[in-house]
Amino acid sequence: MCDKKPADHKQAETKAAGEEEVAVGDKKLKCHVFETTSYNCAGEKQSVSKIWYNTEVPGWAVRSDVEMFGQMKGTMKTVTLGYGKQ
């Protein structure tokens, strides 16, 4: 466990990464893309998350890619396959 106060940690950085089209079912949705980099107590990169948003999709999240570093090394991807009445 880290003894630092939360204010003494390197803060996560989020930036707009533009717009991209993502296929969801038979639709192509124009999505806003954001990328967030988070850091551990030592100030080392802990994860990079890229999320595609579109307000037409319930919950807005169309896709997400997360790459984790250090002890939790790995990759996680989520994709919306469809939405609405089936």
The predicted-structure confidence for 68-81, as pLDDT tens digits, reads as follows: 998 889 999 999 99
Residue 84 maps to a domain: no
Residue 57 maps to a domain: yes
**Cross-sheet strand order for the sheet of 45-53:** 13-24, 27-39, 45-53, 61-68, 74-79
Domains: count for the chain: 1
Residue 85 maps to a domain: no
The predicted-structure confidence for 3-35, as pLDDT tens digits, reads as follows: 888 889 999 999 999 999 999 999 999 999 999
Range of the domain at 47: 10-79
pTM: 0.86
Is the Cβ–Cβ distance between 24 and 81 less than 8 Å? yes
